[in-house]
Amino acid sequence: MNLYLRKAMILAIVCTFVCSLLPVEAYADRTSRKWSIQLGAGLRQPAFNHLHQPWVLSATYDATVYYAISSTVFLGVLFSNSKVYNDPESTSIFKFGHGKADAYWKNSCLGVAGKVYLYPEGNFAPHLRFGSGLSSWKVISIATDRPQVVNASDGTETDYKATELFFMTGVGSESFIHPRWSIYYGFELFYLTGIGADFDRETNDGRSRGFVNLQIGVVFYFGPRMKSLWEKWRDGEEERQERRTPPQYIKREPGGSEPDDTLRQTDRDIYADSDYDGVRDEIDLCPDTPLEAAEYVDETGCPTDADYDGVPDYGDDCFNTPLDMPVDSAGCPLDEDSDGIPDPEDSCSATPKGYVVNRHGCVDMAKVFARRVLHFYYPPGGSNLSRQAAIYLDSLVQLLTDFESVEIEIYGYTDNIGEEEANLRLSQKRADKIKGFLVLQGVDKDRIKGTGKGETDFIASNANRYGREKNRRIEIRFEY
C-alpha cells in the first residue's frame, strides 16, 4: 500500500505543475460554493515519544465535510482512521513494512476542523488547517487480537486504550483541475493532550503523544452559490430604494364597466419582474429565464454565454472554452478518450484510460514500456509464481491488453550457484511460467517470447548474498 501512496504523491505533484499552467479565470468561481467534501489518504508517523520510536510509517484515511463561512474560511466535521504497526527490532525513525510487527495502534478521530485560504483566487490555493476533537484508540497485540495490558495511574492493570482530546494543525494546498474539483495535499500534526487517558507515569513516558500525516486527496465543491459582496450590496440597495419610493396612483379605465368607474394601480407595477432575473418585464427580451439563471443574465434579461459555446453560463462548467471548440452539454470541450486533451487538439484520440499523456494527447511509450527488472521470490530450484508475482503480472496483462500492438520479451537469469546447465534450464522454466500465465490471461502467445539466460549478464557481484539476490531476476523488455 505504501508504494501506491508514494506513486499517488508523485502524481499529485505532477498535477500541481500542470494545473499551475492553466488559465486562472477557469477556477475563479470554485470557492463560491457553500459545501465541499474532502477525501484523502496518506502516511501516518506517530511522534512525541520520549523513549524511542517503535512505529512504522502506515496508511491513514480521512474525510472532512466543510461549510463555507466566507470565500476564505471553511468549517466542518473531520473523521480520520488509521492502523499503525510497530517494529520492535528497528531503531530507525522512518521505516516501512510490518513484517516484524507484534502489535498495532488502531486510531479513529472525530472532531471539528477548519481551513483558511491564504490565496483564495486562482487554481493553486494554499491554506492552513486546524481542528480539535476526540481520538479513540487502542494498541492491540497481533498474537491475541486483544488490547495490550498496562498499568493505570492507581497501579491496577488496564487495557492499553483511551478516548482523549486532540488538537490538530497543518498546512496544505489545492490544485484545481475543474471549477468544482481539486487535488489537495498537505502536512498535519495531531497532538494527544492526555485528557481522557489514565495511565501510570512509565506508560505515559513511553507512549506516543501524537502523530504526523502526509496526505493527498480530492475535494469536491457543491451546493448553492454564495453571493459576492457587490451582489449583496446591489440587492440591499434595490430593496432600500423600493422602500424609499412612495406609491403613486394613476387611473385606468376598467374596459366595459361604467365610465366613471376607475381602477387604481401603483407605478411599482412597471417594475414587475415575473421571472425574478433582476430585469423588469417591460424591457425583458427573455421573460421565461429559469430561476437558476437569475444571476447570469445581461441587461436585456437573456442568459449570458461568455465563451460563445452555445451553453448558457448558468449551466456551463467550463467558462473559457476557446472559440469554435465543440463542447458537451455541460459546456466543456469534447474529450472522447477522457485524457484531458480536447478532441480537436488530440493527436491520439483513442488513448486507453488511466495513462498520463502529453499536450498532444499521446502516451509517452518510452516511459510506459521501459525495461523492467523484477525480483520474484522462488524457492531453491522452483519456478512456480508467488501470489505477489501474480498480482504484478495482472497489471502487465492489463497493459498489454490496452496496447495490443506491443510485443514482450521475457528473460530469466540466475546467480552462479549450481551447475551452469541446470541454471540455464531453470531460468528457461521460469521465463516459460510467466509466458504461460500471460497466455492464460488472454494475451496472444505470438506476442510473447520467453528466453532463459542462466548465469549470464550479472548486474552485481556473486560474492555475497545481496549480490546473488540481485542476479536472480526476470527482465521484461517491450517492442512497440
Average pLDDT over every residue of 167-174? 94
368-479 belongs to which homologous superfamily? OmpA-like domain (3.30.1330.60)
Ranges of each domain in the chain: 2-225, 229-271, 368-479
Number of H helices, E strands in the chain: 7, 17
Give per-residue pLDDT as tens, 78-119. Answer: 999 999 988 877 666 666 777 678 889 999 999 999 999 887
Question: Quick one: angle between helices 387-402 and 420-440, nearest 10?
Answer: 60
Rounded Cα–Cα distance for residues 223 and 36 (Å) = 8
Q: Grid coordinates in use for 471? A: 542476479
Q: In angstroms, rounded to a whole number, what is the distance separating the alpha carbons of residues 71 and 87?
A: 45
C-alpha cell at 427: 531460468
Work out the average pLDDT over 356-369.
81
The pLDDT of residue 251: 42
DSSP state of 277: S
* Angstrom distance (rounded) from CA 151 to CA 205: 12
Q: What is the pLDDT of residue 51?
A: 66
Residue with cell 468549517: 75
**Report for 92-106, 112-126, 198-212, 356-370: range of highest mean pLDDT:** 198-212
Helix (H, G, I), strand (E, B) or coil at 422: helix
- What is the C-alpha to C-alpha distance for residues 287 and 297, in angstroms, rounded to an integer? 11
More confident residue, 194 or 6: 194
Using CB atoms within 10 Å of the CB of residue 104, give its burial: 0 to 12 exposed, 13 to 18 middle, 19+ buried: buried
Q: pLDDT value at position 107?
A: 95
Q: Which residue has the cell 447570469?
A: 296
Dump pLDDT digits (tens) for 385-406: 888 888 889 989 988 998 888 9
**CATH architecture designation of domain 2-225:** Beta Barrel (2.40)
**If pLDDT is split at 50, 70 and 90, which confidence band does 316 have?**
confident
Distance (Å, whole) CA 83 – CA 81: 7
Per residue in 4-36, pLDDT (tens digit) is 445 555 655 555 555 545 444 444 455 567 899
- Comparison of pLDDT for 427 and 313, the residue scoring more: 427
What are the C-alpha distances in Å from 71 to residues 222, 225, 355? 14, 11, 35
- Beta carbons of 186 and 172 less than 8 angstroms apart: yes
Q: What is the C-alpha to C-alpha distance for residues 392 and 404, in angstroms, rounded to an integer?
A: 19
Pairing of strands 407-413, 448-454: parallel
Among 202, 203, 174, 168, which residue's Cα sits nearest to residue 186?
A: 174
For residue 470, CA distances in Å to 199, 378, 412, 461 come to 48, 13, 12, 9
Please say if the pLDDT value at position 444 is more than 90: yes
As a whole number of angstroms, the distance between CA 80 and CA 43 comes to 12
Average pLDDT, the chain: 80
Here the cell at position 139 is 494498541
Label residue 451 exposed, middle or buried (CB < 10 Å: 0-12, 13-18, 19+): middle
pLDDT of residue 187: 93
Neighbours of 329 (CB within 10 A): 9
**How many percent of the chain have pLDDT more than 70?**
79
Please tell me whether residue 89 adopts helix, strand or coil conformation: coil
CA distance 314 to 305: 9
**Residue 255: enclosing H or E segment and its boundaries?**
none
Between these two residues, 282 and 374, which has the higher pLDDT value?
Answer: 374
Q: How far apart are CA 314 and CA 336, in angstroms?
A: 24
Tens of pLDDT, residue by residue over 227-257, are: 655 556 666 666 666 555 554 444 444 444 4
pLDDT for 205 beyond 90: no
* Residue 176 contacts residue 125 (beta carbons within 8 Å): yes
Q: Note the pLDDT of residue 93.
A: 62
C-alpha Rg value of the chain to the nearest Å:
33
The total of other beta-carbon atoms located within 10 Å of residue 116's CB is 14
Helices (H), 369-464: 387-402, 420-440
pLDDT of residue 380: 77
pLDDT, position 477 = 93
- Residue 236's φ and ψ, nearest 5 degrees, are -65, -35
Q: What is the pLDDT of residue 32?
A: 66
The pLDDT of residue 88: 74
